[in-house]
Amino acid sequence: MIRVVEAKFVTSCTSKENLISEGISEVAFLGRSNVGKSSFINALTNHKNLAKSSSTPGKTRLINFFDIVYKKDDEKYSARFVDLPGFGYAKVSKSMQAEWAKNLNYFIKNRASIRVFVHLIDARHPYQEIDENVREYLKTIQRGDQKILEIFTKCDKLNQKEMSKLRRDFKDALFVSNLKKRGIDKANEEIFKSLFE
């Protein structure tokens, strides 16, 4: 059984000028505002309030870093989770959005420590153009030592027929429910394997 046994908030950064130094393998979480990113990180780490979700979708423009420790058998493995700002409908000016995009783009492309990209998608809206764009973008910048995991959240909101279609259309994806804690162990396993095996 692979699980997170320690997790702590390290720092928040606003721009490429004040980024935390590299040196530990990182897992970067991306997703539209309101996809359940904070809840997913909390579920993975088994900490209720580790990642704070904003009441206003798209409001969080910080890159948040969390140091975590996985345990497998009796060995411990250190890694870092990086919670990236949600993209989508932030109620801010165009220039502000452009600034975020620039910082985010710089971080994603130039951060050597990122070993895994976790692209979170709302299972109720699986075919959004914005997610297709992220999918294509990640493929264009993906290095040989990086893995992309697609994970659909809020799967408890779908009926069986919708769920079957989703599994058919996205064969390599993982499916989770933060609320019902479904698929969380499997997600942790895949993240761990991508980092350490």
Buried b (16+ CB within 10 A) or exposed e, 6-28: ebebeeebeeeeebbeeeebbbb
What per-residue confidence (pLDDT) applies to 172?
A: 96
CA 142/CA 80 separation, integer angstroms: 19
- CA angle, residues 85, 91, 92, in degrees to nearest 5: 80
What per-residue confidence (pLDDT) applies to 41?
A: 96
Binned average pLDDT, 10 residues per bin, the chain of 197 residues: 95 85 95 90 94 64 92 97 78 65 84 97 95 92 96 97 97 95 96 96
Entry pTM: 0.92
What per-residue confidence (pLDDT) applies to 18?
A: 85
